[in-house]
Amino acid sequence: MDVVFLFGSLFLLIALSVPVGYAIGISTVFTFVFFSNMNLITIAQSMTTGLDSFPMMAIPFFILAGTIMSTGGVARRLVDVFNDLVGHITGGLSMVTAITCMFFGAISGSANATASAIGGIMVPEMVRKGYDRDYSASLIACSGTIGLIIPPSIAFVIYGVTTNTSIGDLFIAGVVPGILMTVAICTVCFFVSKKRGYVGTERVSLKKLGKDIWEGKWSLLSPIILGGIYSGFFTPTEAAVVSCVYSIFVGAFLHKELTWKGLYNALKDAMELTGLSMFLLSVATAFSKYLTLAQIPNKMVNVIIGVTDNPILILMIINVFLLMVGCVMDNIPATTILAPILLPVAQAAGLTAVQFGVMMTLNLTIGLCTPPYGSNLFIAATISKVKLEDMLKTLWPFLIALFTVLMIVTYLPGVSTFLLG
């Protein structure tokens, strides 16, 4: 009964348009009051201890690195290079968008930052070249999600801390799925562009290509910081700090585009995003605490296995459930609350903690570009100046492509782990 009340009140509050963070906190407090003899100070303690983690410090630093790079000329130089390489293909500009989002995601670790930074550059350019605004918006919304799968990923940091899984292993496991997402989106771009008559740009000379690569070399070298994580030279948290320092140095002294005003705005944006993220994490940790006390993870395993012991069906049930959750809840609280519950179920179906981490994150990532919650949808709609409902008819081919990648990651788990050896 307590669990029914906990989840029932949560989804009722969300349906009533109460902000997700407040909805989680309110439902947790009332459940503790009515169904537990524990002191309410337990909630405050859980909220505090949930954030008191060294790996969790990576989140604000990756957010800051993303906001700095958005204003420091990194995104524009990446666009120039990839436009030289693939812009001449049918639908080339849309492919440039997807590839640049993958590369920028390997710097920022954030889907929203990726969609905002690359969308601000590419949408006006695509519209100027004859692309429809609704198509451009849908492309940005879905391409931005690559930033949560390609390492470094803020979502992987949260999952790793929540389930005590190696964040470094999760980063490595996200490489191939991130590339597959990019290939899938580019494939959709090619066929849709061919149907709609979106032609490529003129092929550039080798001289211009070399010039743009040289000018963008510091942007292209940004993901090399990940090598420090994979080699064990520094932790993901230390890598996030290095990424911030590198971003400031490149933007201010090499590109010479990061001004004091730009740095102030980047810090302000990062503070707002960090405050929101940390609040969601803290209340979600308290919510998860009650689930643990109520032994929900063990009960969930028994219920699902009682329905079927077929691993294929179990994983499909988890996928459908997570896709539905992703439609109404942000990935941060969803991961914090559901990862401890669903991980034992996934392990019973034969997945490791790392494999399930990639699968779960990919599910919730798709939720970022599906209504009604999809934050990337709202960002893309704002940048493109289109109505959300106008995007839906051009959104579904990209969603099918992302779902295809999800099925590959789910049922061919070696795809995400073969780089781990």
Residue 174 has pLDDT above 70, yes or no: yes
85 in any annotated domain: yes
pLDDT single digits (tens) 399-408:
999 999 999 9
Averaged pLDDT for residues 67-77: 76
Averaged pLDDT for residues 72-84: 78
302 in any annotated domain: yes
Residue 293 has pLDDT above 90, yes or no: no
Per-residue pLDDT at 297? 67
393 in any annotated domain: yes
168 in any annotated domain: yes
Averaged pLDDT for residues 340-365: 91
Residue 15 has pLDDT above 90, yes or no: no
379 in any annotated domain: yes
381 against 300, higher pLDDT: 381
Per the CB < 8 A criterion, the answer to whether 287 and 333 are in contact is: yes
DSSP at 202: P
* Spatial distance between the Cα atoms of 256 and 248, rounded to a whole number of angstroms: 10
* Spatial distance between the Cα atoms of 364 and 33, rounded to a whole number of angstroms: 31
In this structure, the dihedral spanned by the alpha carbons of residues 86, 88, 94 and 99, taken in order and rounded to 10 degrees, is 10
| 187 band by pLDDT with thresholds 50, 70 and 90 | very high
Domain count, the chain: 1
Q: Residue 360: which domain range? A: 38-420
| Closest listed residue to residue 131, CA positions, set 207, 140, 7 | 140
Per-residue pLDDT at 308? 79
Q: What is the DSSP string of 124-167?
A: HHHHHTT--HHHHHHHHHHHGGGGGTSSS-HHHHHHHHHHT--H
213 against 51, higher pLDDT: 213
50 in any annotated domain: yes
20 in any annotated domain: no
* Spatial distance between the Cα atoms of 414 and 398, rounded to a whole number of angstroms: 24
Per the CB < 8 A criterion, the answer to whether 401 and 190 are in contact is: no
| 421 band by pLDDT with thresholds 50, 70 and 90 | low
3-state secondary structure of 16: coil
| Closest listed residue to residue 218, CA positions, set 241, 240, 239, 248 | 248
Averaged pLDDT for residues 118-126: 82
pLDDT single digits (tens) 22-46:
888 888 888 888 877 777 787 788 7
399 in any annotated domain: yes
* Spatial distance between the Cα atoms of 67 and 63, rounded to a whole number of angstroms: 6
